Amino acid sequence: MKTPRAAQGCADSLTQFWPVVEFHLLLSVVCHDIGVALELHWAILMAYVITDTCTKDELCVQACPVDCIHPKQDEAGFAEAPHLYVSPDDCIDCGACVPVCPTNSVFALEELPAELAHFADVNAAHYN
């Protein structure tokens, strides 16, 4: 069965928000010719993104009240990691990491410059 044009438009508009940091359950109602179907979608919502100018000095790690920035110096993978990453599961969107970064490598997702937008995917992929 074919998805109605109005429902397809909703689905298309949702895809522009991937990735985004926390888990949200999206419920959509799709009307088919013979009934109604409920579709459940999980979205990863991302509050903050760390870019490649990160020096891994861990000032953001020290400022974070919930320990959501990894890998830390004493964790596996620290030496190999090109930069640190914000965990979408643990981040509480407090912003404490932004002002302490000496290289301005931490951005709120909605303030991430277009030329650095791919780092949202890089950060999300690190935790998937």
Give which of 94, 98, 71 is closest to 21, Cα–Cα.
Answer: 94
More confident residue, 55 or 35: 55
Residue 27 has pLDDT above 50, yes or no: no
CA distance 6 to 65: 43
Residue 4 has pLDDT above 60, yes or no: no
Mean pLDDT, range 18-33, rounded to an integer: 45
pLDDT of residue 127: 86
> Using 50, 70 and 90 to split pLDDT, how confident is the model at 26?
very low
**Domains along the sequence of the chain with CATH:** 5-44 (no CATH), 48-126 (3.30.70.20)
Contacts of 67 (CB under 8 A, 6+ apart): 61, 90
Give which of 89, 127, 122 is closest to 107, Cα–Cα.
Answer: 122
Q: What is the pTM of this model?
A: 0.66
pLDDT tens figures, 61-93: 999 999 999 999 999 999 999 999 999 889 999
